[in-house]
Structure 1
Amino acid sequence: MVFEEGRIKQWLINYINPGMAFNDIKSVVTHYTALHPTKETYIFNDGTPMELVNLQGTIPVTYKSVVYNIPIIIWLMDTHPQHAPLCYVKPTPTMNIKVSKYVDQNGKIYLPYLHEWAQDKSELLGLVQVMIVTFSEQPPVFAKVKPKEALYHPSINNSFPNSVFMQQPPYPTHSPYPQPSYQGMMPQAAQSGYPPGGYPLYPTPYPAYPPQPSSMINTGTGTIKEEHIKESLLTAIEEKLMRRMKEEFQQNQAELDTLKRTQDELKQGSLKLQVVLERLEKEKSDLDKNITVLKDKEQELDKAIERLSNQESMDVDDAVITTAPLYKQLLNAFAEEAALEDAIYYMGEALRSGVIDLEVFLRQVRTLSRKQFMLRALMQKCRQKAGLTVV
């Protein structure tokens, strides 16, 4: 069958991760050409229908050195690959389902790979390969034995009806996966063009499957005793209990792992909170100290204001007191230079008003400018000696 990429991508348009689902399907179809994708209606237990993409066809399984084509169907949930697909064995009219711990009476497949499905490490190709390995040890189907074939089968006593030899011990169908109705694995015949019964007609006939062995047949005496039936039932019950115990253990282990992870996260959160609380406590202590210092400074300012308000007016020049002779020299030079700047300005005003003539103005400005230059040089040297910024 031709792999039509455009059509498959259109089928996956409503999936959450259509790109990942498409790559998964393409990988399987490339390796196993007998599987082909299609889109059909799946009906869940509650009667809810959903349009899902599936892979159906056959996978090659080697059993006792003979290769058999096992018919399967894999339904991809619309959340694929976040959740595991639903897998079934689809026997043809000439086959019966062989119930085991991997396949129930409805043909639904249970595998550890499905139970432990994880988006980051599980894929459809790996699932199909696990099916092939598992079914090579325990085939999921066996050929129906016709009455004539049963009559002359060398390992079957002819005094019992054929139905006895096909009897299967009861096997549990409980599973950790949500169980849809078996109706869901049968695509609607009207949509797919399948014959009545809902199964597709494959282009090549399947080889005869090995007849199902029966542990209840006593070939030595040719009779089935009550203790044999009892032993078979006990074995089935034991397997059922063991599987339930294993499921309970795995579920409890998963819950325990979740609780441990939660505990670790809570411990990390507690450490982070402790660090935050310590930092807040330190900041609070620093703020308290700063508030105390500001209150002391505020009291000092209030006292200074009160003292100044009670004093008589003072000369501004007397209020400026330098702490060193160098600073006093710098202050005097600055004041004198500022006075010369004002004198030059007012001489310019006098020239413009005609109070003095140009010759007098130029002579006096030259003298004052020379003195101003010397004062500025002195200020630069004082600032340099005092370690102040030189401008």
Structure 2
Amino acid sequence: MVDTDRLRQWLSKYHNPEVAFRDIMSAVSQYGGLQPHQEPYMFNDGSRADLVNLSGTIPVRYRGSLYNIPICIWLIDTHPKNAPICYVKPTADMSIKVSMFVDQNGKIYLPYLHDWVQNVSDLLGLIQVLIVTFGEHPPVFAKTRESSVTPYPSNSFMPQPTGSYVAPYPPAPYSGSSGGFGGYPPYPPTSNAGYPPYPSYNTPYPPFSGSNFGTPTPPAGTGTIKDEHIRESLLTAIEEKLLRKMKEQFQQNQAELETLKRTQEELKQGKAKLDSILSRMEKEKNDLDRNITLLKDKEQELEKAIERISNQESLDVDDAVTTTAPLYKQLLNAFAEEAALEDAIYYMGEALRCGVIDLDVFLRQVRSLSRKQFMLRALMQKCRQKAGLSI
């Protein structure tokens, strides 16, 4: 039974306490062998923090049999933004099986942890991935009596059951830091509900007992572990370690390659923009050069015209303006006289404003000038009609 009040108190310093609480309760409700605890955790940089962890066992089916694998899942205070830190916690009768998923310290490496996505990944999904992964690659194996590090012959990571099922990590009373699973509560029998009954096997191995639990039985016909068995086990461990290193290096190179590809795409886009800007500037430069050339030509024409006019004798304006027909001359004279009357009316207004003439004189003169102006405009209109010009 989980003390929810204490769990909420532990999670009070987390960034998203409610989300972490729901995630933990969902995992514990499905896997009763895990229980939340709060313990100090030391990071690689030497800093310490009180973090909540899920410790205990998870059921793993390996070669048709069900085993309880002890694990510990540490929740970072930024959960679920960042992935948890997971460890396999072997008991005194177990040794860690180093593979691409578990290192010699028991730390677990999974693509699910590497590709952890907030609001998508959760503890329940992580545990399910652990169960599937450990079902194919067991993370621990039982120690031998002679040596605590002697591996199994024939790649036998966990002993095969015989007769009635005996788990390699049998339930034991939980006793804190001693007994049981080295501080982890046992996986309760009721949590195996829904699994098929444990099968019986007829194998050459004798039944396990409390005294010989975890001790491998050598293959039939041999009484000792041969050198080739140890050599094969070492070669397997080295091969798996090299494969994990190669995979990590490949993933790192792949990530760097993706970064370089994105940088290349950005540089190509920038180059296209720069080429467009340079093309537009080149076009504007050509337009400016063409306009400058045109203005220089016009300037030379004006200078020649000014020089030609300055060398000519002064001309009478009246003599300079000549018409080709009497009708055009009559139109020109009427236009000039009408413009003169327009100027006279303007200056009459200025004289009235300045008080030079009286209002009566202004009105009388303006009336007379306006009458003449009207007649002249009518004459110009008739002349334009006769000449076929626009009115």
Give the TM-score range, shorter chain.
0.5 to 0.7
2:40/2:49 contact within 8 Å kept? yes
Change beyond 3 A, Cα 1:30–1:340 = farther
2:348/2:362 contact within 8 Å kept? no
2:14/2:78 contact within 8 Å kept? no
Task: Quote the residue 2:156 is aligned against.
Answer: none
1:367 aligned onto 2:350: no
Task: Calculate the TM-score normalised by the size of structure 2.
Answer: 0.59
Change beyond 3 A, Cα 1:258–1:360 = closer
Task: Quote the residue 1:188 is aligned against.
Answer: none
| Residue correspondence of structure 1 range 62-77 to structure 2 within 5 A | 62-63=60-61, 64=64, 66=66, 68=68, 70-76=70-76
Change beyond 3 A, Cα 1:60–1:228 = closer
Task: Quote the residue 1:190 is aligned against.
Answer: none
Task: Quote the residue 1:231 is aligned against.
Answer: 232
| Residue correspondence of structure 1 range 1-391 to structure 2 within 5 A | 1-2=3-4, 8=11, 10-12=13-15, 25=20, 28-29=23-24, 31-33=26-28, 41-47=40-46, 49-51=47-49, 53-58=51-56, 60-63=58-61, 64=64, 66=66, 68=68, 70-76=70-76, 81=81, 84-91=83-90, 96=94, 98-101=96-99, 102-115=101-114, 117=115, 123-125=121-123, 126-140=125-139, 162-164=145-147, 167-168=150-151, 205-207=186-188, 217-314=218-315, 336-345=337-346, 353=357, 360=364, 364=368, 367=371, 370-371=374-375
Change beyond 3 A, Cα 1:236–1:363 = closer
Distance 2:291 2:36 in 1: 75
Give the aligned residue type for 1:353. I
Distance 1:228 1:27 in 2: 48
Distance 2:309 2:359 in 1: 46
Change beyond 3 A, Cα 1:33–1:283 = same
Distance 2:251 2:329 in 1: 90
What is the aligned length?
328
Change beyond 3 A, Cα 1:345–1:277 = closer
Cα-Cα RMSD: 5.4
Larger radius of gyration: 2
Give the aligned residue type for 1:308. I
Give the aligned residue type for 2:251. Q
Distance 1:40 1:318 in 2: 116
Distance 1:89 1:343 in 2: 114
Shift of 1:9: 6.6
2:35/2:54 contact within 8 Å kept? yes
1:344/1:368 contact within 8 Å kept? no
Give the aligned residue type for 2:76. L
1:77/1:84 contact within 8 Å kept? no
Change beyond 3 A, Cα 1:97–1:340 = farther
SS of equivalent to 1:71 = strand
Shift of 1:108: 0.6
Shift of 1:218: 2.0
Identity of aligned residues (%): 48
Distance 2:224 2:338 in 1: 135
Distance 1:315 1:107 in 2: 115
1:73/1:88 contact within 8 Å kept? yes
SS of equivalent to 1:106 = coil
1:127-162 C-alpha deviation (Å, 9 max, x unpaired):
4442232234445457x78xxxxxxxxxxxxxxx62
Distance 1:53 1:223 in 2: 46
Distance 1:330 1:167 in 2: 129
Shift of 1:109: 0.5
Distance 1:37 1:375 in 2: 114
Structure 1: gaps of 5 or more residues: 13-20, 146-160, 170-193
Change beyond 3 A, Cα 1:51–1:340 = farther
Give the aligned residue type for 1:239. E
Distance 1:132 1:328 in 2: 114
Distance 1:231 1:8 in 2: 47
Give the aligned residue type for 2:113. L
Distance 1:95 1:213 in 2: 7
1:42/1:50 contact within 8 Å kept? yes
1:54/1:74 contact within 8 Å kept? yes
1:52/1:78 contact within 8 Å kept? no
Shift of 1:224: 2.1
1:59/1:71 contact within 8 Å kept? yes
Shift of 1:72: 1.8
Distance 2:10 2:331 in 1: 92
1:60-85 C-alpha deviation (Å, 9 max, x unpaired):
4342464847432234386974x654
SS of equivalent to 1:162 = coil
Task: Calculate the TM-score normalised by the size of structure 1.
Answer: 0.59
Shift of 1:229: 1.9
1:61/1:132 contact within 8 Å kept? yes
SS of equivalent to 1:32 = helix
Give the aligned residue type for 2:248. E
SS of equivalent to 2:86 = strand
Distance 2:49 2:306 in 1: 88
1:183-238 C-alpha deviation (Å, 9 max, x unpaired):
xxxxxxxxxxx9769x9966x53359999978883244343222222222222223
SS of equivalent to 2:71 = strand
SS of equivalent to 1:339 = helix
Distance 2:344 2:37 in 1: 104
Distance 1:354 1:94 in 2: 130
